Amino acid sequence: MDYRILGRSGLKLSTLTLGTMTFGGTGAFAKTGNTDMAGARRQIDQCIDAGVNSIDTADIYSAGLSEEIIGEALAGGRREKLILGTKVRFPTGTKGPNERGLSRHHIVRACEASLKRLRTDHIDLYWCHEWDGMTPVEEMLSAFDMLTRSGKIGYVGVSNFSGWHIMKMIAAAERTGTIRPVAQQIHYTLQAREAEYELLPIGVDQGVGGVIWSPLAGGLLSGKYRRGKPEPEGTRKAANWNEPPVRDVEALYDIVEILVEIAEGRGEGVTPAQVALAWLLGRPGVTSLVIGARTDVQLADNLKAADLRLTAEEAARLEQVSRPPLLYPYWHQQDTAADRLSPADLVLIGPHLA
């Protein structure tokens, strides 16, 4: 297991993070899985044994039940072995008009509730789960700053923000001298490379580490979904879980075919899922991948990706089959600015120049 510095901080995360959206499995989240307490303990121990030092949850997952399970499962010394992250933004429990968003009121109340459910006195990495366009960023940052100074949170990250949202928050943090986000939790896969347009370049340029959610596109890149074959049962897709959207099914199948060919070429023990995860770990701006699993077997398979290194030829094949088109102004920059591009610019434009 490798460990990478998270953005502009001194914190090291393992390249794989345990995702816990399946813990609890109630309400809408039942579609993703229903890992119980015994299963949670097994998966946490699996990850610790593999060198994983990071665990990710959110207060909204199964209406707080995921946090409660984690709080109990981490008893007995496990808590000290893990960087614990959770999220704030959506209503959990109380449904009043102020029990959502990123107001100071909601951030502080939600943090206290998460600390109680997690049975801990601090959250290592506290995420804004989604943008809130109604609350001034200065108010968001002052609340996070207060929680940091009180020792209740360690670092702040953002999730599902657009490029200008992140830059607005960074600018406000620097202007007000408040805590600065060090990470962004984003969706990024071979099937969905939109993050390369702005989010990953911002991460490289501004020191905002990329933590990738649903790195197998909800299982679509696991090799279970093949062109011309029946779809498997008992999956998120079969349960009508609609994240992430698939806008071009044939393009998805083209990517899967290359993943399968590379995995088969590597021999026994290497799977398409491992190849897809290994590709992400080779991308600029990526710190860690959030992997979750319905079963212990799936988790064990995904954990092996931490040690898989793709060859230049394998990476080139995946690049060719999945490369996004250059939108404006990037195609213009490719043609006229290629002599003076920064490492951040090259995240998107570099492969086109090559």
Question: Active-site residue numbers?
Answer: 61
Q: Give the Å distances, CA to CA, from 127 to 59, 97, 131, 157, 315.
A: 10, 21, 11, 5, 31
85 phi/psi in degrees, rounded to 5: -125, 140
Q: Is 66 helix (H, G, I), strand (E, B) or coil?
A: helix
Alpha helices in the chain (DSSP H): 37-50, 65-73, 104-118, 137-149, 163-176, 199-206, 249-266, 272-281, 296-303, 312-322, 330-336, 343-353
Structure tokens at 138: 């200065």
Q: Which amino acid type is present at position 73?
A: A
Q: Compute the C-alpha angle 304/15/311, nearest 5°.
A: 60
Q: How many helices (H) and strands (E) does the chain have?
A: 12, 10
Report the DSSP pairing between strands 3-5 and 153-159.
unpaired
**What does the chain come to in residues?**
354
Structure tokens at 342: 């920064």
Q: Compute the C-alpha angle 353/185/167, nearest 5°.
A: 70
Structure tokens at 14: 């393992």
Report the DSSP pairing between strands 54-56 and 286-291.
unpaired
Long-range pairs, 144-152, Cβ under 8 A, ≥24: 144/107, 144/178, 144/179, 145/178, 145/179, 146/108, 147/107, 147/108, 147/111, 148/179, 151/121, 151/122, 152/111, 152/115, 152/121, 152/122, 152/123
